[in-house]
Structure 1
Amino acid sequence: MPRYIVERDFPGKLHLPTNDEGDRLCRKIVNTNAEEGVTWVHSYVSLDRTRTFCVYDAPSPEAIREVGQRNQLPVGSITEVSVLDPYFYLGTGHAGVETAAHSRLRTPWLPFSYVLA
């Protein structure tokens, strides 16, 4: 499934209370998104609360626009993205521990029969 970053502008500031009202609103958004095969992964909010950068998995930008309209949320730019993980290049996991995949790259290849001997 393609992944997208969706930028939204909230000139009057984003208001999402951390109570039952906010919970109901988020559940409504998630349920409406699911009807179009759209998954809201998470969002980043600017410190002044006037802009969000939302990560979505969706079948298409059109599906994101559709659920945005149904959820009464502004939709600015939609950019398809892929993951660039610096830890992949460093060969370490997020905790700084070498990954098994990177370890295998350093380990000399030995025939399977030799390993069992």
Structure 2
Amino acid sequence: MPRYIVERTFPDGLSVPPDATGAAAMLKVVDRNAERGVTWLHSYVTGDTKHTFCVYDGPDPEAIRAAAELNSFPVDRITEVRVLDPYFTF
């Protein structure tokens, strides 16, 4: 399955409570993504919480975009990527 980096901007910052409420909200994101055949692997959030770089597996950019819409998340850019690690298993 292809892998993608999804860049997002949250003008007011992304706020996810570090408690059970935040965990439940993230599980809802996972469930909605599954409706489009998309798997959220993890995300990187900037210190000001205004930008995220999210790693997803999914069938195509359209599915990633549809999942974002279900979750009411913005999408700035979707880029297909491959893994390059120190062991050079490209």
Output the TM-score relative to the length of structure 2: 0.94
More strand by share: 2
1:32 counterpart letter in structure 2:
R
Consecutive unaligned residues of structure 1, counting only runs of 5 or more, are 90-117
Identity of aligned residues (%): 58
RMSD between superposed Cα atoms in Å: 1.1
Corresponding residue number in structure 1 for 2:10: 10
1:88 counterpart letter in structure 2:
F
Corresponding residue number in structure 2 for 1:57: 57
Corresponding residue number in structure 1 for 2:40: 40
**Where do 4+ consecutive residues of structure 1 move more than 2 Å?**
86-89
Q: Helix, strand or coil for the counterpart of 1:78? A: strand
More helix by share: 1
Q: How does 1:55-94 map to 2 (within 5 A)?
A: 55-88=55-88
Kindly tell me the number of residue pairs found equivalent between the two proteins: 89
Which structure has the greater CA radius of gyration? 1
Consecutive unaligned residues of structure 2, counting only runs of 5 or more, are none
Higher relative contact order (CA 8 A, sep 6+): 2
Q: How does 1:93-108 map to 2 (within 5 A)?
A: none
Output the TM-score relative to the length of structure 1: 0.73
Q: Deviations over 1:17-62 (max 9, x none)?
A: 1112111110100001011110000000001110000000000100
